Amino acid sequence: MVTTTYQVQGMTCGHCVSAVSAEVTALPGVTEVAVDLAAGQVKVTSEQPLDDDAVRAAVDEAGYELVGA
């Protein structure tokens, strides 16, 4: 298992957490997603390292922006 933490910009509420969690969880190989709203971080556990572009696309689809990846 691989755990990676991503910075996400624009999350402000529980709906934000749900939207980001749903999109990132749908990525192939993802086993767990934990969102820290206060820190603006999303911790993703997956079977293999994830492609940053795939994670960025999932976060974009939820309406937010991946920072620094």
pLDDT at 68 over 90: no
Domain containing residue 62: CATH number? 3.30.70.100
> 24-48 pLDDT, tens per residue?
999 999 999 999 999 999 999 999 9
Is the separation of the CB atoms in 13 and 62 below 8 Å?
no
- Note down the domain range covering 26: 2-67
Confidence check: pLDDT of 69 > 70? no
The count of domains in the chain is: 1
pTM of the entire predicted model: 0.91
CA 16, 31, 51, 68: dihedral to nearest 10 degrees?
40
Mean of all residue pLDDT scores within the chain = 95
